[in-house]
């Protein structure tokens, strides 16, 4: 079932920030409606795709399924010769044409070529080929008023998102936009805006009636039948809003009258059929069972043989509709139609299902009828369709609605005891909360006090919810809308957990405690990401390796290789909503190729707005590379990795990290982990996330084997009560030499040179480049601290060690000691 986001907004006020398509993609599965796929359509951004007009066409001399067309696009010179396989156009139709040089979705490049020996200088396109609709049954037929040469980008400036929902058989009411709007209304607490219908019969035409009689001779098959007549319609192409809606559901626009019947079907879940009144023999419609062996040619142009168990709508001579399934070519509405008869009815679901199966013929109508449409929905849907036909095709209503039979009875009330509900769901909830949820689903609640002090509720069931028949159905509805994510957690004691799994769990929990203590908010995100994002940040190879074979959604088709892009989505959303939250982290799995093998890695990621103004007393908070390195190191310490001696290597220019302002350490093969931290690429933040402020981030990736080894934590000892002695040293080194490397070298030499005491710390505290230094060189200032555990060091001891360090530097390295 395809649902258009733009169409939904006609019935519920979806906030562009709070209720985006992405939010709906998360909420709908929680309500019980899985999304098979959702696709963003337009607005298109094409070059050389314009409006053209088919001047003439001939059959391809060597291919039965191809036509050779002459198409005018309003450009100077001869019309374009285009070979096309579609059959749904005529000479004079305006169509969308991709000319040589155009590049269509899927990197499909249009160029001059020959098809079966005939020249083709472009392509006439369907809506799906241009990603502006779902229809792929034929090429787009445009409004005849559209000017030749108009670019597609100018015609379709509004995008849309189409959800393909998997609806369970019992929820036929959700096979419509109004049905989905009702569900979202319950979730978001927003009112549903039902389209108003007018008293369409007020404009009744004078003269002979188009239809003299409606007869139902098979009431068991059709207990309720309605018909309305409209005179003087002008059948032609649908207006853009109607055509866009129809094509969003994957259908092809036929004409304005037929499109209205399909529109109301997808709006209300009520199938209907429009007849050309002039083609109804004898001015009479009869609902009856078919004669054994009776023939009908359905709208798919196939002749079908009927049996006596199949219902039909017939005139005085022949069947015109396989009732509830499909109409025939004998009474279809076309451009020559001036008067219309509109039927809306309720047919027996079991009979429709059997007919569709025997004829091997399924349609949008039979799909709904066989599941049981709203028994009381025919009148509203009929008036709604008449209003729309008058709007888009003109005409006047001919007489009152003709009605045969009565609306079938439905279950109108179900009893529910709140105490039973609470015992059933296993957690406590107030009566008022339960009532609020049920009423949000358009159920009425009447409370009755019992003698034992308990309550008995009588819940009124609307006719469109035929699936609600027992109290357990109401309990299920409450839990579904209340939200399984809101059900209180209860501790489950697991048995036989591996030691490694237990360590991962405890580390995860400890990391969460640490980061929340550092004022971070935790995010919980999907493991699937957009393919374009994957290719942009991680390259073509990762794009191929991380792709799912059968993704449910086109923009969630790749396993994520990093947590950082998802956290930036969260940061952008919170920035747009003005929440003030600027620190986020996530724990989860990411996927990388390591030594040619795909690995699932355990990851922790965090992001921080680098420079933020606070309303609190601190006024301003600044984060930098060292903030990220400290946080990353502490996370590694929690995981069992001594981080104090890690040597970080700088990252060059890349699309995610800012070159020269970010670094990494560790490797998967030798150490089982990798940490990257620092400043994110400023230009990427602006272009892809519209974030103007710098962002600091950290990403820690750990293999499962990392947790199998013995934890290596930093060693701690008591602080000596003896004083320390400090020495500073300036070294001239090549620009390419890392400060960490120099620091490690000096620490190694200090360990050898200090005899009977320790060099307890070595750190680079200053970098200088400029006057007084050779080109390509820099000066690093190094501070060393010496201390003995049992005595105060003498100057000669410290100086001897300092001299020994300088000697080793001169002998073992290319560093120059700056005097």
- With CA atoms as reference, report the closest residue to 608 among 515, 701, 511: 515
User: pLDDT value at position 675?
Assistant: 94
User: pLDDT value at position 212?
Assistant: 86
Total count of residues recorded for the chain:
819
User: pLDDT value at position 583?
Assistant: 94
User: pLDDT value at position 143?
Assistant: 85
User: pLDDT value at position 397?
Assistant: 94
- With CA atoms as reference, report the closest residue to 32 among 556, 349, 478, 552: 478
Q: Where in the chain is the domain with CATH 3.30.70.380?
A: 725-817
452 is in an annotated binding site: no
Q: What is the three-class DSSP state of 552?
A: coil
User: pLDDT value at position 604?
Assistant: 96
User: pLDDT value at position 136?
Assistant: 75
Mean pLDDT of the residues in the chain: 89
Among 78-87, 351-360, 422-431, 667-676, name the one with the lowest average pLDDT. 667-676
Alpha helices (runs of H) in 129-271, residue ranges in sequence order: 152-155, 177-188, 240-248, 256-268
User: pLDDT value at position 205?
Assistant: 45
437 conformational bin, left if phi > 0, alpha if psi -120 to 50, beta if neither: alpha
User: How far is the C-alpha of 78 from the C-alpha of 476, rounded, in Å?
Assistant: 66
Q: How far apart are the first and last CA of the chain?
A: 79
Q: What is the three-class DSSP state of 177?
A: helix
Secondary structure E strands in 478-610: 521-522, 528-529, 558-559, 583-594, 597-609
**517: CB partners within 8 A, 6+ apart:** none
Residues 313/319/323/328 CA torsion (nearest 10 deg): -120
- With CA atoms as reference, report the closest residue to 96 among 160, 153, 161: 153
Among 21-35, 37-51, 107-121, 469-483, name the one with the lowest average pLDDT. 37-51
DSSP result, 20-63: -HHHHHHHHHHTT-EEEEEEEE-----SSEEEEEEEEEEE-TT-
**Looking at domain 725-817, which of 3.30.70.380, 3.40.50.2020, 1.10.274.10, 3.40.190.10 is its CATH number?**
3.30.70.380
Query: To which CATH superfamily is domain 499-525+563-707 assigned?
Result: Bira Bifunctional Protein; Domain 2 (3.30.930.10)
- With CA atoms as reference, report the closest residue to 338 among 452, 439, 441, 257: 257
Under 8 Å between Cβ of 440 and 186: yes
Give domain 2-42+161-188's CATH architecture. Answer: 2-Layer Sandwich (3.30)
User: pLDDT value at position 208?
Assistant: 62
User: How far is the C-alpha of 712 from the C-alpha of 715, rounded, in Å?
Assistant: 9
pLDDT 10s digits, 774-784: 888 999 999 99
Give domain 49-158's CATH architecture. Answer: Beta Barrel (2.40)
Q: Where in the chain is the domain with CATH 2.40.50.140?
A: 49-158
Under 8 Å between Cβ of 684 and 692: no
pLDDT 10s digits, 1-11: 899 999 999 99
Average pLDDT over residues 191-220: 78
Residue 177 has pLDDT above 90, yes or no: yes
User: How far is the C-alpha of 329 from the C-alpha of 333, rounded, in Å?
Assistant: 9
User: pLDDT value at position 160?
Assistant: 87
766 is in an annotated binding site: no
Look at the alpha carbons of 636, 641, 645, 649 in this order and tell me if their dihedral is positive or negative.
Answer: negative
3-state DSSP helix/strand/coil percent for the chain, to nearest 5?
Answer: 30, 30, 40
Give the helix/strand (H/E) hosting 540: helix 531-545
Share of the chain above pLDDT 70, in %: 94
User: How far is the C-alpha of 240 from the C-alpha of 154, rounded, in Å?
Assistant: 13
Residue with tokens 């992001």: 607
481 conformational bin, left if phi > 0, alpha if psi -120 to 50, beta if neither: alpha
More confident residue, 495 or 593: 593
Look at the alpha carbons of 551, 553, 555, 556 in this order and tell me if their dihedral is positive or negative.
Answer: negative
User: How far is the C-alpha of 370 from the C-alpha of 758, rounded, in Å?
Assistant: 86
Under 8 Å between Cβ of 105 and 46: no
Among 2-16, 731-745, 802-816, name the one with the lowest average pLDDT. 731-745
Total-model pTM = 0.60
Average pLDDT over residues 523-544: 85
Helix/strand/coil (H, E, C) string of 70-89? EEECCCCCCCEEEEECCCCC
pLDDT band at residue 416 using 50, 70 and 90 as cut-offs: very high
User: How far is the C-alpha of 737 from the C-alpha of 740, rounded, in Å?
Assistant: 9
Look at the alpha carbons of 744, 749, 753, 756 in this order and tell me if their dihedral is positive or negative.
Answer: positive
pLDDT 10s digits, 225-259: 999 999 999 999 999 899 989 988 988 899 999 99
Q: For 413-483, which CATH class?
A: alpha beta
129 is in an annotated binding site: no
User: How far is the C-alpha of 499 from the C-alpha of 497, rounded, in Å?
Assistant: 6
User: pLDDT value at position 89?
Assistant: 93
User: How far is the C-alpha of 660 from the C-alpha of 651, rounded, in Å?
Assistant: 6
User: pLDDT value at position 155?
Assistant: 83
User: How far is the C-alpha of 465 from the C-alpha of 182, rounded, in Å?
Assistant: 12
User: pLDDT value at position 496?
Assistant: 47
User: pLDDT value at position 202?
Assistant: 43
Residue 619 has pLDDT above 70, yes or no: no
Residue 455's alpha-carbon distances to 447, 459, 482, in angstroms, are 7, 13, 21
The yes or no reply on domain 200-405 and CATH 3.40.50.740 is no
**702: CB partners within 8 A, 6+ apart:** 601, 602, 603, 639, 672, 673
User: pLDDT value at position 203?
Assistant: 43
User: pLDDT value at position 586?
Assistant: 96
Q: Between β-strands 583-594 and 521-522, what pairing exists: parallel, antiparallel or unpaired?
A: parallel
Give the helix/strand (H/E) hosting 444: strand 444-449
User: How far is the C-alpha of 191 from the C-alpha of 633, rounded, in Å?
Assistant: 51
User: How far is the C-alpha of 66 from the C-alpha of 26, rounded, in Å?
Assistant: 44
pLDDT 10s digits, 286-299: 999 999 999 999 99
Cis geometry, peptide bond prior to residue 704 (ω within 30 degrees of 0)? no
User: pLDDT value at position 709?
Assistant: 72
476 is in an annotated binding site: yes
pLDDT band at residue 625 using 50, 70 and 90 as cut-offs: confident
Under 8 Å between Cβ of 415 and 469: no
pLDDT band at residue 438 using 50, 70 and 90 as cut-offs: very high
User: How far is the C-alpha of 210 from the C-alpha of 233, rounded, in Å?
Assistant: 13
| CB neighbour class for 476 (10 Å; exposed up to 12, middle 13-18, buried from 19) | middle
Among 123-127, 708-712, 733-737, name the one with the lowest average pLDDT. 708-712
DSSP letter for 282, please: G
Residue 501's alpha-carbon distances to 497, 673, 713, in angstroms, are 7, 17, 20
Other CB atoms within 10 A of residue 82 CB: 25
Residue 42 has pLDDT above 70, yes or no: no
- With CA atoms as reference, report the closest residue to 216 among 320, 273, 287: 287
Residue 790's alpha-carbon distances to 652, 662, 722, 787, 794, in angstroms, are 47, 41, 7, 9, 12
pLDDT band at residue 497 using 50, 70 and 90 as cut-offs: very low
- With CA atoms as reference, report the closest residue to 111 among 125, 127, 123: 123
pLDDT 10s digits, 509-528: 999 999 999 999 999 999 99
Q: Where in the chain is the domain with CATH 3.30.56.10?
A: 2-42+161-188, 413-483
User: pLDDT value at position 713?
Assistant: 55
Residue 206 has pLDDT above 50, yes or no: no
Q: Where in the chain is the domain with CATH 3.50.40.10?
A: 200-405
User: pLDDT value at position 156?
Assistant: 78
User: pLDDT value at position 779?
Assistant: 93
């Amino acid at each position: 079932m395809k649902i258009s986001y733009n169409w939904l907004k006609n019935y519920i006020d979806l906030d562009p920030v709070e209720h985006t398509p992405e939010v709906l993609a998360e909420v709908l599965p929680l309500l019980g409606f899985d999304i098979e796929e959702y696709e963003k359509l337009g607005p298109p951004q094409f070059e050389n795709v314009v409006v053209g007009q088919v001047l003439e066409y001939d059959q391809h001399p060597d291919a039965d399924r191809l036509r050779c067309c002459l198409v005018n696009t309003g450009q100077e010179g001869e019309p374009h010769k285009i070979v096309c396989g579609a059959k749904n156009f005529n000479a004079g139709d305006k169509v969308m044409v991709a000319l040589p040089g155009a590049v269509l979705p899927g990197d499909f490049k249009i160029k001059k070529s020959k098809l079966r020996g005939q020249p083709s200088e472009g392509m006439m396109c369907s809506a799906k080929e241009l990603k502006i609709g779902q229809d792929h049954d034929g090429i787009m037929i445009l409004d005849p008023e559209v000017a030749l040469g108009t670019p597609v980008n100018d015609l379709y400036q509004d995008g849309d998102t189409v959800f393909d929902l998997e609806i369970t058989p019992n929820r036929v009411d959700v096979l419509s936009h109004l049905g989905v709007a009702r569900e979202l209304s319950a979730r978001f607490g927003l009112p549903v805006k039902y389209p108003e219908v007018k008293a369409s019969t007020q404009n009744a035409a004078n003269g002979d009636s188009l239809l003299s009689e409606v007869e139902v001779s098979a009431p068991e098959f059709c207990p309720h039948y309605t018909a309305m007549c409209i005179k003087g319609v002008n059948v032609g192409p649908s207006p853009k809003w109607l055509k866009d809606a129809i094509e969003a559901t994957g259908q092809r626009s036929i004409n304005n009258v037929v499109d209205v019947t399909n529109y109301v079907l997808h709006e209300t879940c009520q199938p209907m059929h429009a007849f050309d009144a002039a083609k109804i023999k004898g001015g009479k419609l009869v609902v009856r069972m078919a004669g054994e062996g009776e023939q009908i040619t359905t709208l798919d142009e196939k002749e079908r043989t009927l049996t006596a168990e199949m219902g039909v709508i017939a005139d005085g001579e022949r069947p015109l509709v396989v009732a509830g399934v499909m109409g025939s070519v004998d009474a279809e509405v076309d451009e020559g139609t001036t008067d219309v008869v509109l039927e809306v009815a309720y047919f027996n679901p079991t009979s429709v299902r059997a007919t569709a199966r025997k004829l091997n013929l399924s349609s949008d109508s039979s799909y709904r009828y066989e599941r049981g449409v709203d028994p009381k929905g025919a009148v509203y849907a009929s008036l709604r369709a008449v209003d729309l036909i008058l709007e888009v095709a003109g005409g006047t209503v001919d007489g009152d609605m003709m009605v045969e039979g009565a609306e079938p009875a439905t279950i109108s009330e179900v009893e529910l005891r709140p105490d039973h509900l609470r015992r059933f769901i296993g957690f406590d909830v107030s009566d008022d909360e339960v009532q609020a949820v049920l009423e949000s689903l358009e159920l009425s609640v009447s409370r009755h006090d019992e003698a034992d002090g308990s309550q008995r509720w009588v819940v009124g069931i609307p006719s469109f919810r035929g699936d609600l028949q027992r109290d357990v159905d109401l309990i299920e509805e409450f839990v579904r809308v209340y939200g399984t994510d809101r059900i209180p957690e209860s501790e489950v004691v697991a048995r036989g957990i591996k030691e490694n799994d237990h360590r991962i769990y405890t580390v995860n929990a400890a990391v969460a405690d640490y980061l929340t203590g550092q004022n971070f908010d935790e995010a919980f995100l999907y493991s699937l990401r957009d393919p374009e994002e994957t290719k942009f940040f991680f390259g073509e190879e990762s794009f191929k390796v991380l792709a799912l074979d059968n993704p449910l959604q086109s923009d969630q088709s790749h396993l994520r290789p990093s947590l950082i892009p998802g956290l930036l989505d969260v940061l952008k959303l919170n920035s747009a909503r003005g929440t003030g939250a600027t620190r986020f982290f996530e724990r989860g799995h990411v996927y990388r190729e390591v030594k040619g093998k795909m690995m699932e890695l355990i990851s922790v990621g965090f992001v921080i707005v680098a420079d933020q103004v606070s309303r609190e007393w601190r006024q301003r908070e600044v984060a930098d590379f060292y903030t990220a390195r400290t946080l990353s190191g502490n996370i590694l310490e929690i995981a069992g990795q001594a981080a104090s001696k890690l040597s970080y290597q700088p990252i060059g220019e890349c699309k995610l990290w800012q070159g020269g302002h970010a670094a990494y350490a560790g490797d998967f093969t030798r150490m089982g982990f990798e940490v990257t931290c620092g400043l994110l690429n400023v230009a990427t933040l602006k272009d892809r996330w519209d974030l103007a402020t710098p962002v600091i981030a950290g990403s820690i990736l750990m293999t499962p084997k990392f947790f199998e080894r013995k934890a290596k934590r930093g060693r701690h000892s008591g602080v000596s009560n003896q004083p320390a002695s400090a020495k500073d040293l300036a070294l001239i080194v090549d620009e390419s030499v890392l400060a960490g490397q120099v620091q490690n070298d000096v620490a190694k030499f200090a360990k050898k040179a200090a005899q009977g005491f320790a060099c307890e710390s070595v750190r680079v505290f200053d970098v200088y480049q400029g006057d007084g230094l050779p080109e390509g060189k820099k000066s690093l200032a190094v501070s060393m601290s010496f201390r003995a555990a049992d005595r105060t060091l003498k100057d000669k001891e410290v100086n001897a060690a300092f001299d020994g360090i300088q000697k080793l530097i001169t002998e073992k390295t290319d560093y120059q000691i700056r005097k």
